[in-house]
Structure 1
């Protein structure tokens, strides 16, 4: 039985052809998705959209004969052979240097669905150093061999088991062997008339019995059977620490929230049951729900140590480091009360970083100028000193919305086992 999938997509092409195209042009489409996402809002990422790839990525693979001698008849053509590009008169393709001159290529525009867009954007992202310290229960499903069955798909037929059962049945029913019948027929050719009639009757009876007992019967056929069983996966928790103090302007808070919204989409899309803990702080910290974290108003002074202390207390009470992979992402404008820096540094070096798999710090600034031109804040200088002493910290600065996607991708891109996180 053959099943042909003829479901249509927005481009009116069969789904299988669409998926084959995406696999072939995946690298080009991924680059186009990243460029397209830089100018989008976070919520727009989930809506899919149109991307453009160069036409040279549309070439179909084909076999070509190289070398040798061939005889060809090309009626009416003495100049061109297969593969030559024919010049076009008039205006060139795409944008040219002058009207009617030059050569360029139009972009191929391709519409991606919401799921395709998000999957391609998150394809090479992952939580760094995800160690399977303790396996959670029933977090996923895996395929497991579960013996044999008398029915199933032809692709799952167990030939060895089927032949073995057929042989056992033939032996039990005493099915005549072909060699036995051949011996009697050879004896029949040389026997006398008295013995001939008996041999003919015996041979006919054996052949009739062989026809009644088939070589392979449907009751002999066995199929390999598979069952889905719970597949354990690693436990992980992500702490989102956001500064909402009075020094954080609306623009800075918007940048921080966009980063966390993208992080939220990434975790929910790539990992089935990763815990997310939202902590926001001014001069005091509190654990809040998702809605309050992204939309609740707040203002006040700044004590970064309050957020770090809250994270430490939650880890100690709910997430044993021996059982959980612990991650943290902190966003702040870098301002902190002067005497608090020493407390924050001690909390990081003694309590937070020793039990964390990854700690990312995002410093947000005003939109005027480049992120690399931002002066070092007190918090940035503190983290720089800690990182210089070997602390596993990743630090980035952003000033504009368009910088959120590249920075996020840089922080969470898939890395080799021996490759260290870039500073």
Structure 2
């Protein structure tokens, strides 16, 4: 039996195995701290590491020890107020001990601080995006710089010594020897039968010259058989390895953000936080994923990442302008036979007059039939307006491809994000 001992060290020469075991053991504490950290951080500080605090009582270890056992006699101090069976009244004022309360200063007693440690950026992101996935990611296509894997493709007469196929080589050598010596072996067998008959004859009638000739011929045939090599160069067979391209799932995510005048700066910051989480999730978990950023007010515009998150342009509100642009880009650049298409839209729900009906019609007829999944985030503490009501009809038509969630304040962003992209169990 083989034993593998992992002695990897982290940056401070501590055991990496022990660290991973510790992270697994206190996973729930760390996930809770990561969830709280996401809501408190600034947008530019979203992907750094985090300091985790674990209450001391949660890291205490059970201890086995010997009990006192046996028969013991003790002398205890008596009293002149109570006898057996008396009820002891509760101390006035709610009682209490001599120690200091939690979070209060005291000139007596001592406490134990919480256990605090630092997790790295990679560990922070791992916990932040644990158990999340893009739904319905199924379409696979060969394109671009492909990754190749090798697989067996039979045998070849040429190759490297490390690829020798011993079984096929011995089989080939045996077949060659049988083919080259089969006729001689059959002739030897016939001669041996003839020799037996000659030797079985009456001694007076034996043909000694014929017996000697048969023996000479048998010896010659056996010598010829022995000269056939046991293994020749062209008997050696090599495993043939060929490369074949590995198909990959290609996905594109359309990020649609409302930047109209009705979106306050706080609302825009929450929308940006949501899209930054989505962007980090895609960049970390998927290699072949493209992101299309679309900002809109009365008109829509495809922008780069920097402009999408930091531009201050604003205006009125026509949500359908972003959906029309998404439809056009999808038809021009991303054929649905090759791409898994996703969409995420963030808005405060305000829209111009009857434009909400246009939005639902666009989604139902032109966009959602081509998409794997579409999520709508409404960032508002107010009651829902016409856009939400129209999108409810979309959710009824496409229950598996369309999801809606509301964000009221910063604490809702991360739970809503996890709810939208939670890994589905089979």
Normalising by structure 2, report the TM-score. 0.65
Match status 1:377 vs 2:385: yes
**How far does residue 21 in structure 1 lie from its aligned partner after superposition?**
2.6
**How far does residue 45 in structure 1 lie from its aligned partner after superposition?**
3.2
Matches of 2:315 and 2:288, distance apart in 1: 34
After superposition, the C-alpha distances for 1:12-37 in whole angstroms (9 at most, x for unaligned) are 52223212333444444334322333
**How far does residue 397 in structure 1 lie from its aligned partner after superposition?**
1.5
Q: Which runs of 5+ in 2 are unaligned?
A: 71-96, 174-237
Q: 1:408 aligns with which of 384, 400, 417?
A: 417
**How far does residue 379 in structure 1 lie from its aligned partner after superposition?**
1.0
After superposition, the C-alpha distances for 1:322-369 in whole angstroms (9 at most, x for unaligned) are 21111000011111111212221211110011111111111112xxxx
Q: Which runs of 5+ in 1 are unaligned?
A: 65-71, 81-89, 153-157, 170-222, 366-370, 418-423
Task: State how 1:316-355 maps to structure 2 within 5 Å.
Answer: 316-355=331-370
Matches of 1:119 and 1:16, distance apart in 2: 17
For residues 150 and 122 of structure 1, do their structure 2 counterparts lie closer, same or farther at Cα, with a shift above 3 Å needed?
Answer: farther
Matches of 1:295 and 1:8, distance apart in 2: 37
Match status 1:127 vs 2:134: yes
Indicate the SS of the match to 1:286: strand
Task: State how 1:158-237 maps to structure 2 within 5 Å.
Answer: 230-237=245-252
After superposition, the C-alpha distances for 1:206-230 in whole angstroms (9 at most, x for unaligned) are xxxxxxxxxxxxxxxxx99999975
Q: 2:373 aligns with which of 349, 358, 363?
A: 358
**How far does residue 107 in structure 1 lie from its aligned partner after superposition?**
4.4
Normalising by structure 1, report the TM-score. 0.65
Matches of 1:119 and 1:142, distance apart in 2: 27
Bigger Rg, structure 1 or 2: 2
> Does the 8 Å contact 1:341/1:382 carry over to 2?
yes
After superposition, the C-alpha distances for 1:274-308 in whole angstroms (9 at most, x for unaligned) are 01001111111111111111112212211111110
Q: For residue 278 of structure 1, what is the aligned residue in structure 2?
A: 293
**Pairwise CA RMSD of aligned residues?**
4.4
After superposition, the C-alpha distances for 1:216-253 in whole angstroms (9 at most, x for unaligned) are xxxxxxx9999997532211100001111111111111
Indicate the SS of the match to 1:29: helix
Aligned length: 332
> Does the 8 Å contact 1:138/1:230 carry over to 2?
no
After superposition, the C-alpha distances for 1:153-190 in whole angstroms (9 at most, x for unaligned) are xxxxx9xx679989999xxxxxxxxxxxxxxxxxxxxx
**How far does residue 128 in structure 1 lie from its aligned partner after superposition?**
1.0
Indicate the SS of the match to 2:372: strand
Matches of 2:342 and 2:261, distance apart in 1: 26
